[in-house]
A and B are shown apart, each in its own frame.
Chain A
Amino acid sequence: AQSVSQHNHHVILSEAASLELGCNYSYGGTVNLFWYVQYPGQHLQLLLKYFSGDPLVKGIKGFEAEFIKSKFSFNLRKPSVQWSDTAEYFCAVNARGNNRLAFGKGNQVVVIP
């Protein structure tokens, strides 16, 4: 079964700073990769996803993620954060063709105005 690691559970940064959240997974086969975001008091929403093709994926709200197969990683980035990016971010992985998702433990990101 696949597992997902997210480091630095709590991240605090100032507006306009750059954000990078790490995601590593353990599974040797072909995978689908997701980042979800949970804003305070809101649904868990899909931020971006990777199935195949260009390993650099662009999502909503200026976020992007890069799939590096050799490193089993799918790190999330945003060059300049805003206060409204305060949220919890979850990385998730499933083996291609198996719709069971494995989630990381999440990163709680707080952006200070």
Chain B
Amino acid sequence: DGGITQSPKYLFRKEGQNVTLSCEQNLNHDAMYWYRQDPGQGLRLIYYSQIVNDFQKGDIAEGYSVSREKKESFPLTVTSAQKNPTAFYLCASSMGRGFDDTQYFGPGTRLTVL
């Protein structure tokens, strides 16, 4: 079954703890993305990666970190420096090539920091 998986679906953490969200894809896509969704705010880009071992900051990268050691995986770490980490986090992937690139999304992880 092809697609993008994110785990876990729900995650609870205490304030001050770092937490890592998983994103895996088996679509053979080169590009992967992390977005944050807040009610009434749409989706905002945190980080993206167009190729293994390379990634760029998006619009709201402060307090987050990523790695891209494998093509299939793009984990996101929410650090204690992120001032308002409670949100719904969406991972996406795309071919990353050409002018007609389309992003496809995973089911998301809802993070609650207590």
Residues of chain A touching chain B, judged by Cβ–Cβ distance below 8 Å, are 4, 6, 9, 32, 34, 36, 42-46, 49, 51, 90, 92, 94, 96-97, 99-101, 103-106
Contact = CB atoms under 8 A, between A and B. Distances in A.
A99 B58 contact: no
A99 B106 CA distance: 17
B42 A51 contact: no
21 contacts: A9-B40, A32-B101, A34-B102, A43-B105, A46-B102, A46-B104, A96-B99, A97-B99, A99-B31, A99-B48, A99-B101, A99-B103, A100-B45, A100-B58, A101-B43, A103-B35, A103-B43, A104-B42, A105-B40, A105-B42, A106-B42
Contact of B48 (A32, A44, A96, A100): A100
Contacts of A99: 31, 48, 50, 94, 96, 101, 103
B89 to A, nearest CB: 12
A55 to B, nearest CB: 16
Contact of B90 (A42, A44, A97): A44
Contacts of A94: 101
A43 B106 contact: yes
